Amino acid sequence: MGKPRLVVATIILTVFLITSYASTFVYVPATLRANTTAPVVRLWEPLHEQVKAYLGDNLTSIISEVNLTSTPQLLDNNEFNGSLDSWTCGGNESLRCIWLPSDTGAIGGAVQITGSVVTRAPGLYSKSVEQIFMVPENISGPLVGIRYAFPEAPRVEVNSSDIIIVALFNWTGSYWNTLDAVGTRIYQTSSYNTIYLSLNATLKPGEIYLLLVGYGNLVGSGGYTRGNVDFRVDSVSLSYASTILSFGGEVLRINTTIPAYMTILVTGYTDNQSGLYGRLYFFNGTTIVLVAIIENGTITYTTSYFLRVDPTGDQYNASARLWLEANTTRVTGDFTIFGVIEYTNGAYYVFYPFEIRVHP
């Protein structure tokens, strides 16, 4: 190599070295270990006869298909299948209320009110099952159907009678206001029978209602009664006839094994000339949050409000649920809501996808 070529090579090498060391980086090597774990929050299928649900393999996603009808059922889990879940079963010092997973002659599960009554004074022994619900449109005179058995009745000594009590309440502010309460006399029977009672009440969408069904023993003036009670309810329905197609009830249920803060995020929707009107609500057992408003096939309101959701302590009862009120005058067309259920402890955030498909 001649001298000039050596000089050129030296210059090139020098330039290269200068360029290389001009960059000064600090490298912080990092490793991530994601040790995946089973979900602490699981989605459950809704217990409503107008909804068919498709759950993901690990209960962390769900597609709910909602069928609109002109004769909607307003109550969830109205046959007490699998659990009481959205119903509350109440007792008192004389009677207790329990859920039966099955009973002879019953379809699915049943509710049993049992115990003994002893009274001379005018009185009413009533214990009950009750459910909170909402409605998709203005309703007048809803019809309550009760399939019941009464295998053991207390002795009617003087001037007393056994009755089924049905009461409808409106939750306005912080108290329940009775809209209508009716009672009808029943007689001892070991087989299940169905009765229908029309309620004199007007219900409005966007308001919260409670339906109570119970056993009572009325004792008139100077009357007297005593004995054991065994009153059973196989199913309760609350329905009405409508000129439009509608739905009111749960579209998914959520069960958690730890306290968590949750919100429902609506991320999108598709509308195929549904003409749908509706509202989506998130309910944690004590508080209801309006999640979305649908107006003529368009979502016009959403929120991301967080609710605390606690375990129920019962593996069969949901911790929270998503409710839908929806109606349309069209007999074709469909509407789909896309969203995620988000829960957090303030450090981690988990997101499960859901779809709600609404069609006639």
Partner 1 sequence: MARATALAVITVVLLGLAVAVALAGVISITRISTSVAYTGLPIRVEPGRIAGSPDLNGTIDVQIGPNLSVSITVHPTYQLTAYPGLVNVTNIGNTTHNYSIIVVHPYTGPPGAAAYLAEFNASNGTLVIRANLSQAGVYGPYPIEPGETVELSLVTYYPEGEPLQEVNATFSIAVGKSQEVPPESLGG
Is the CB of 40 or the CB of 201 nearer to partner 1? Answer: 40
Is the CB of 40 or the CB of 182 nearer to partner 1? Answer: 40
Q: What minimum distance in Å lies between the beta carbon of 58 and partner 1? A: 5
Number of Cβ within a 10 Å radius of residue 338: 14
- 228 beta partners: 116
Q: What minimum distance in Å lies between the beta carbon of 339 and partner 1? A: 9
Contacts with 37 (C-beta within 8 Å, 6 or more apart), sequence order = none
Q: What minimum distance in Å lies between the beta carbon of 1 and partner 1? A: 31
Residues in the chain: 360
Q: What is the amino acid identity at position 334?
A: D
3-state secondary structure of 3: helix
Where on the phi/psi map is residue 338: left (φ > 0), alpha (ψ -120 to 50), or beta?
A: beta
Number of Cβ within a 10 Å radius of residue 108: 16
Is the CB of 92 or the CB of 267 nearer to partner 1? Answer: 267
Q: What minimum distance in Å lies between the beta carbon of 262 and partner 1? A: 11
Binding site for partner 1 (CB under 8 A): 22-40, 56-58, 60-61, 63, 261, 265, 267, 306, 338, 340, 342, 344-353, 355
Is the CB of 1 or the CB of 28 nearer to partner 1? Answer: 28
Backbone angles phi, psi at 334, to 5 degrees: -145, 165
State the Cα–Cα distance between residues 233 and 216, nearest whole angstrom. 14
Is the CB of 293 or the CB of 350 nearer to partner 1? Answer: 350
30: its two tokens: 């990092």
Number of Cβ within a 10 Å radius of residue 169: 20
Q: What minimum distance in Å lies between the beta carbon of 336 and partner 1? A: 11
3-state secondary structure of 243: coil
3-state secondary structure of 128: strand
Q: What minimum distance in Å lies between the beta carbon of 259 and partner 1? A: 10
Is the CB of 172 or the CB of 267 nearer to partner 1? Answer: 267
State the Cα–Cα distance between residues 55 and 63, nearest whole angstrom. 7
- Whether the Cβ atoms of residue 235 and residue 80 lie closer than 8 Å to each other: yes
Q: What minimum distance in Å lies between the beta carbon of 342 and partner 1? A: 8
Is the CB of 130 or the CB of 355 nearer to partner 1? Answer: 355
Q: What minimum distance in Å lies between the beta carbon of 355 and partner 1? A: 6
Q: Rounded to whole angstroms, what are the CA distances from 335 to 61, 69, 70, 135, 296?
A: 19, 15, 17, 19, 10
Is the CB of 57 or the CB of 93 nearer to partner 1? Answer: 57
